[in-house]
A and B are shown apart, each in its own frame.
Chain A
Amino acid sequence: MSATQQSVQEHIPLRHPRLPRWAPVLVGVASLALSGILSLALGWHVVPWVIVALLLYVLILPGWSRVVENPRAAKDRLMTSLVWASLGIALVPLVSLLYKVVAKGLPQIDGNFMTYSMRNIVGPGGGVYHAIIGTLLITLAATIVSVPIGLLTSIYLVEYGSRSRIASWIRFLVDVMTGIPSIVAGLFAYALFVLITGTEGIHLGFGGSIALSLLMVPIVVRSAEEMLKLVPGDLREASYALGVPKWLTIVRVVLPTALPGIVTGVTLAIARVIGETAPLLIIAGFTDSVNTNLFGNAPMETLPVFIYYSYTQPGVDASVGQNYAWGAALVLIVIVMVLNVGARLLGRLFSPKSGH
């Protein structure tokens, strides 16, 4: 740097003084160290150590910035730290939960666990086969019920009633339905089937499917509606211009274009309801045996209900029941994760860009 440049910079400062780029890192390390010394001296665990380090960081960095830079920059640094801190805090439970489920659940998983039911089993040695069967059957039936209803409704909302009063009311009520608590859906299915069959205390798998459908339909409608809205109007108009009737335009032009998004939405909806516990607890009930009859008046076990009962009624040795619960939780989480990842992969695989 030449002497003239330096003298110019001294006389006319073009920039406010700034903290060096590495200031956040330095303050971060310093806060961790300071808090570490404190926690060593006072015998704290990891959690208070990290909390105090975080507090120190949020105090020191903006303080330093206020002295060197200006109050506005200090506020900016404070908010930046808080934003990142909130992200960190939000991820802690996820990591902790996944770690716990894998660590506790993995030792339970073996051929026995996956292929045996709990029939006539007291203590260890049983499995979740009956619960997996029940979960798959009930969710499959729920999907079969809710996908046509949801998809057709979204077509109505986008293609037929888009601006009409009825459509906006339906849209509104579908939004409200997304807020229906799952336990209320279970009570609805229970009340419905009690009124239909006249049997108090009824348990049946299909009731669970109806309850899950009530939760699933709004999700399908909303996601499919978004996808249908994304289809460019030009495509529809081009089809009309060729003399194609409206319904054929929808079936042959609009739906194929929106299909990847719809499949993703449906898969995510399945992932959302497959872990539902409360409605199944009420209408599908609890059993130790395999039951493949969705329509008979007999309880049908599902994975979430299995987890719940293994936890609340663990048997004589509580750890045995809790181990069952952790193992089943791992199975359930793997199913949900596979559905989630699969949904995104499917969406990418069938995306229209790569197709044509």
Chain B
Amino acid sequence: MSTTAPKTRSPRRRLGDLVFSGTTSGAALIILLALAGVAIFLTAKGVPALKATGDDLSGAKNIVSYTAPLVFGTLWAALLALLIATPLSIGVALAVSHYAPRRIATVLGYLIDLLAAVPSVVYGLWGSLFLAPRLVPSYSWLGDHAHWLPLFSDNSSATGRTIFTAAIVLAIMVLPIITAISREIFAQTPRLNEEAALALGATRWEMVRLSVFPYARSGIVSAVMLGLGRAMGETMAVAMVLSASGVVTFDLNSSTNPSTIAANIALKFADATGLRVNALIFTGLVLFVITFVVNFIARAIVSRADRRLAA
């Protein structure tokens, strides 16, 4: 008797569970399909661009020579943005997690989150109408006095809408992302480690360096990687701020600037027809692959570091 009772009951239980677990795993499956769909549909619409030439590619010989300068611009702008944003974000995260009194820290945290809430198109508006004109004097000074450096050109921008201005706006946009993740990880540092460091006579900075940073290293790396992905994929701010001409140059203050993949698509898609659309989608596929790889590497680093911490 005692063995039959569970048997008769279990099917009824299992039905509800089966339906529910089936629905939830179905939802998970939809997400995987969507991700696969992104790759498949972009490939399907992007591949015809391999045949495109000349006219459809703004004069580039083939799709590779069309995409390469855009890839360069994307990476260069994102790199500049990260150079600005990373130290700032780590400083801000430390200020919120370890330096500010708790009550002020909460308010500061909200303020930094507000930075993330501002839509990119508003950053674009602010960057091109407010920030860029104010940077013109600096750019022309650099053009006059520092053009012998490889990073500056003597042909400085008259509008201020250079790759460096775009990078500043991008930095402002990725700063809250890097800050939010670093802040969370800094705050998770074991309290005992911090107090042990302080008890041994460490100053506050030494405490941060000896107990907080080692604990948070993988978190910072993943935060910066995520910021990199965001900076590479950011579209509107770059499209509105940057005065792009699609050249390949490292100059920061020049009036001719490299374009980025995302900005190029946004600027050209509305007027594109035929193979031009395919070419733009092909560059979008390239962007997707690059950001995918960056995210993949970031996660790999994090999971390896986690395993090392656990061991």
Cα(A250)–Cα(B123), bound, Å: 42
Residues of B within 8 A of A251 (CB): 20
CB pair B31–A177 under 8 Å, yes or no, is yes
Given contacts A97-B118, A278-B262, A311-B240, contact A84 B95 (CB under 8 A): yes
**0/1 string, B114-133, CB within 8 A of A gives 1:** 11011111111110111000
Smallest Cβ distance from B73 to chain A, in angstroms?
Answer: 14
The answer, yes or no, to whether B291 is at the interface (CB within 8 Å) is yes
CB pair A152–B24 under 8 Å, yes or no, is yes
Cα(A312)–Cα(B241), bound, Å: 11
Cα(A178)–Cα(B117), bound, Å: 16
CB pair A286–B270 under 8 Å, yes or no, is yes
CB pair A312–B240 under 8 Å, yes or no, is yes
- Across the interface, name the chain A residue whose C-beta is closest to B26: A152
Residues of B within 8 A of A93 (CB): 115, 126, 172
Smallest Cβ distance from A178 to chain B, in angstroms?
Answer: 8
Residues of A within 8 A of B284 (CB): 183-184, 187
CB pair B44–A195 under 8 Å, yes or no, is yes
The answer, yes or no, to whether B294 is at the interface (CB within 8 Å) is yes
Majority secondary structure of chain A interface residues (helix, strand, loop or mixed): helix
Residues of B within 8 A of A308 (CB): 121, 124, 236, 239-240
Contact among A247, A312, A326 with B19 in the assembled complex (CB-CB below 8 Å)? A247
Contact among B27, B31, B113 with A340 in the assembled complex (CB-CB below 8 Å)? B113
Cα(A245)–Cα(B13), bound, Å: 6
Smallest Cβ distance from A33 to chain B, in angstroms?
Answer: 25
Majority secondary structure of chain B interface residues (helix, strand, loop or mixed): helix
Cα(A271)–Cα(B34), bound, Å: 22
The answer, yes or no, to whether B214 is at the interface (CB within 8 Å) is no
The answer, yes or no, to whether B266 is at the interface (CB within 8 Å) is yes
Cα(A93)–Cα(B288), bound, Å: 29
The answer, yes or no, to whether A58 is at the interface (CB within 8 Å) is no
CB pair A184–B233 under 8 Å, yes or no, is yes
The answer, yes or no, to whether B224 is at the interface (CB within 8 Å) is no
Smallest Cβ distance from B288 to chain A, in angstroms?
Answer: 5
Smallest Cβ distance from B63 to chain A, in angstroms?
Answer: 16
- Across the interface, name the chain B residue whose C-beta is closest to A304: B121
Smallest Cβ distance from A193 to chain B, in angstroms?
Answer: 10
Cα(A272)–Cα(B111), bound, Å: 16
Cα(A345)–Cα(B148), bound, Å: 55
- Across the interface, name the chain A residue whose C-beta is closest to B262: A183
CB pair B42–A187 under 8 Å, yes or no, is yes
Given contacts A247-B19, A322-B129, contact A156 B233 (CB under 8 A): no
Given contacts A84-B95, A96-B130, contact A174 B122 (CB under 8 A): no
Q: Which segment, of A113-121, A136-144, A157-165, A288-296, faces chain B?
A: A157-165
CB pair B30–A149 under 8 Å, yes or no, is yes
Chain A 266-309 interface residues, beta-carbon cutoff 8 Å to B? 271-272, 274-278, 281-282, 285-286, 304, 307-308
CB pair A180–B38 under 8 Å, yes or no, is yes
Cα(A196)–Cα(B29), bound, Å: 21
CB pair A217–B34 under 8 Å, yes or no, is yes
Contact among B91, B205, B291 with A75 in the assembled complex (CB-CB below 8 Å)? B205
CB pair A159–B24 under 8 Å, yes or no, is yes
Given contacts A195-B44, A247-B16, contact A94 B233 (CB under 8 A): no
A-side residues, CB < 8 A to B, are 47, 72-73, 75-76, 79-80, 82-87, 89-91, 93-94, 96-97, 100-101, 148-153, 155-157, 159-161, 166-167, 170, 172-185, 187-188, 190-192, 194-195, 200-201, 214, 217-218, 221, 245-248, 250-251, 271-272, 274-278, 281-282, 285-286, 304, 307-308, 311-312, 322, 325-326, 329, 332-333, 336-337, 340
Q: Which 4 A-B pairs have the closest CB atoms?
A: A181-B233, A275-B119, A86-B91, A152-B27
